Structure 1
């Protein structure tokens, strides 16, 4: 195994609930499911920017890539905990198929600080 995939993350999957109007809500509190995942690589993807419209905010983009032959159950509605940060999944999860399944996944993440 390459040293490129020696990092680990925790997928945070929200508990589902509903508000008083019957709309589905996501609960990121203690009822959220925490799924440890190894054999990944997380790196900045050069998509950092400052948003100064309402307040001073720095948005940093990250890229998560799983090791070849691994297929973490990461969903667009999840968050990822990495290196003390909680990152949001932005967009669809890239799944790279091969004839016998999926080679690996890639996901765009963002940190808002």
Structure 2
């Protein structure tokens, strides 16, 4: 095992909130989220931005990468607990292939403060 994939994360998956007419909304109920522990991944810093408008906002980027041959059940609507932070999945989860076989999985994560 390499030290590069030595981190453990927890995937949070929340059900959609149902409105009074019985329709699922895009809002998630994070109080009812399920937790799935994933070991031996790498979470590294990625691009970050700052906005100094009416309210200062810092968006910190992170990248989750699995080791070769490993996929994780991760959706764009999930959150990831890593490095003591709760991070949102930012966009689609990338599943890389090589020779028509799964090679590894990558996901951009973000934390917005402010």
Match of 1:63 in 2: 63
Distance in structure 1 (CA, Å) of the matches to 2:65 and 2:24 = 33
Tell me how many residue pairs correspond in the alignment.
111
Q: Under a length normalisation based on structure 1, what TM-score does the superposition of the two structures give?
A: 0.89
C-alpha displacement of 1:23: 4.2
1:72 and 2:72 equivalent?
yes
Structure 1 residue ranges without an equivalent (≥5): none
Q: Offset of 1:54 from its aligned partner? A: 3.3
Q: Distance in 1 between matches of 2:40 and 2:99?
A: 22
Once residues 26 and 111 of structure 1 are traced to their aligned partners in structure 2, the CA distance between those partners, rounded to angstroms, is 17
How do residues 28-67 of structure 1 correspond to structure 2 at under 5 angstroms?
A: 28-29=30-31, 31-45=32-46, 47-67=47-67
What is residue 26 of structure 1 aligned with on the other side?
28
Rounded to whole Å, the distance in 2 between the matches of 1:87 and 1:54 is: 24
Supply the distance in 1 between the matched residues of 2:107 and 2:69 (Cα, whole angstroms): 16
Contact 2:7 2:40 in 1 (8 A): yes
SS at match of 1:4: helix
Shift of 1:10: 0.3
